[in-house]
Structures are given as structure tokens and as C-alpha cells.
């Protein structure tokens, strides 16, 4: 069975999601804006997907740009089943 591991940042508002996307892209990070996975409860319907290698840069940008996030989550997808675990940051 295929296993996939990725990370997402969830935001408090669409405004902050779009702002975050802009700053992450300016830093040449390989990100993708996606609908917030249903396994995560967040007030904004948009999240940004990224890989583990970029987590430190993502955290630095969030702090430097004062982005209002709900959290950073590790998403594990096995087949059609997903599970989400919040990462302390």
C-alpha cells in the first residue's frame, strides 16, 4: 500500500494563507496551496502543503512575517486513509 507523508500549515484567515503563499514562493519553496484536509479543524479553508526539508524555513517566515496560523500538521496518508498530527512550533 502506498504511504505518503507531508506537512501543511493552516491559517486563521484566507488573507494570511494568501500572504503566506506569497512569502513562501518568494523564498523558492516547493509549496502547494490546497483545501484544508478534513482531518484538521481550522477556520480557513486553505492550507499550504510542503515537505519536511522546508519546515525550518517555513517556521522562520511565519515568525518574521507575523502570519496568523492555526498550526502546522504532519499528514500521513496510507491508501485512502489520512491521519493528522499537530506539530509543536
pLDDT in tens, 21-64: 999 999 999 999 999 988 887 667 899 999 999 999 999 999 99
Q: How many domains does the chain have?
A: 1
The boundaries of the domain holding residue 57 are: 3-87
Region 65-88 average pLDDT: 92
pLDDT score, position 1: 73
pLDDT at 89 over 80: no
Contact 9, 47 (CB under 8 A): yes
Task: Read off the CATH number of the domain in which 61 is found.
Answer: 3.30.70.120
Amino acid at each position: 500500500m502506498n504511504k505518503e507523508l507531508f506537512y501543511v500549515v493552516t491559517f486563521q484567515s484566507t488573507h494570511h494563507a494568501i500572504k503566506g503563499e506569497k512569502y513562501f514562493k518568494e523564498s523558492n519553496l516547493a509549496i502547494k496551496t490546497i483545501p484544508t484536509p478534513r482531518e484538521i479543524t481550522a477556520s480557513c479553508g486553505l492550507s499550504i502543503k510542503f515537505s519536511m526539508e522546508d519546515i525550518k524555513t517555513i517556521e522562520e517566515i511565519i515568525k518574521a512575517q507575523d502570519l496568523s496560523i492555526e498550526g502546522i500538521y504532519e499528514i500521513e496518508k496510507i491508501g485512502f486513509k489520512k491521519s493528522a498530527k499537530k506539530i509543536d512550533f
